[in-house]
Copies of this chain bind each other. A is one copy, B any other.
Amino acid sequence: MVTPGRRRVTIADVASHAQVSVTAVSKVIRNAYGVSPAMRERVKNAIDELGYRPQVVARGMRGRTFTIGLMLPHIRNPFFADILDGLTEYLQSTDYQAFMIQGGATRKVESRAVDALMDRQVDGIIMVAPLASKARLEEVAKEKPTVVLARHERSSYYDSVHDDDEAGAELVVNHLIALGHRRIAHITHQDDSHARPSDLLHNIRAATYERVMREHGLADEIAVAKSFHHERGGYEGARELLSRSPRPTAIFAGADQAALGALAAVHEAGLAVPVDVSVAGYDNTHLGALPYIALTSVDQDGAVMGRAAGQLLLERVEGRMSAVRFTVTPSLVVRGSTGEAA
């Protein structure tokens, strides 16, 4: 039973209870060399009897904290939940624990979040779609093992995990063109990032959209709404696109969240999906699969990405210095929100 304000059990308590030295207990905890099976048994019993748990901050002063920091821009995108699930599933078989921190919408807040992680001596950092410049990411990576998700630049200081956004965007635009669409518009995202634009996934998707359009002789039909990859962003972007004349017959939103908003705008304009306007997204979030939404989208396996990120990070924690890139190949999931051009 825990009594109020009782001092936490320490390694010294375990040692005296087991009648052994502190060193011995430490060795058992760390699974270090130099303890006999009998000693191990004895110490383990004492640990169990006292309910001892090592204090991570104390361990952190000399060794590891067994903590990895996960920076997410926010937690509204269900796609991030997939990443987190993959990561936690992977970490379950290890001694490490993941802690999330919200990066927010600006570089400043994000930077503070990452600093907070480093101040707390995490053993490694995973950043999802960070806004920071490559230089800043490398600065972080020089101090702590780092894995960056959803950014495309190559760095020799950190590992990268991302999907092939070019392939994904191509799938969508080709799909729409194959359905006979010509006036295909795109909703992209504006960021506060200091990254090279071409390293950010939304810019890659947008650039690919333009490229494929051009390749099909549709350069004149290119229409891009610079908005945001969230619901309101998609809504406003789509409103703007639909107000153009002639209006697009298809909208490729750079993310499902935005596509959900776009659907709202289409609906509000009194238009039907996909009869009047086809809508496609990216990420294949659960929501899109709901039959009354039935959003055509690009699937990138978030769980696989999360798992890979965890694995790469722990490899780095264990000492790997070379940089690794892990790329997942996306696939198109066609649903009812896209159909033949009118």
Partner-B contacts on A (CB < 8 A)? 2-6, 8, 53-58, 60-61, 65, 67, 74-76, 78, 80-81, 84, 88, 97-102, 104, 113, 115-116, 118-121, 139, 142-143, 231, 260-261, 263-264, 267-268, 286-287, 290-293
- CB of A75 within 8 A of CB of B65, answer no
Contact of A75 among B61, B75, B115 (CB under 8 A): B75
Which residues on B sit within 8 Å (CB–CB) of A100?
75, 99-102
Q: What are 8 A-B residue pairs whose CB atoms fall within 8 Å in the complex?
A: A5-B142, A53-B119, A55-B121, A57-B57, A67-B120, A99-B100, A264-B291, A267-B292
Determine if A74 and B81 form an interchain contact, defined as CB atoms under 8 angstroms apart.
Answer: yes
Q: How many copies does the complex hold?
A: 2
A78 to B232, CA, bound (A): 14
| Given A61-B58, A101-B99, A291-B264: A80 and B88 interface contact (C-beta under 8 Å) | no
Task: Evaluate contact between B65 and A84: CB separation under 8 angstroms.
Answer: no
Residues of B within 8 A of A139 (CB): 2
Cα distance A60–B120 in the bound complex, in angstroms: 9
Q: Contact partner of A57 among B60, B263, B286, CB < 8 A? A: B60
Q: Which of B53, B61, B264 contacts A61 (CB 8 A)?
A: B61
Bound CA span A142–B84, Å: 30
- Are A121 and B57 in contact, with the CB atoms below 8 A? yes
Complex CA–CA separation, A168 to B115 (angstroms): 41
Q: Are B231 and A260 in contact (CB under 8 A)?
A: no
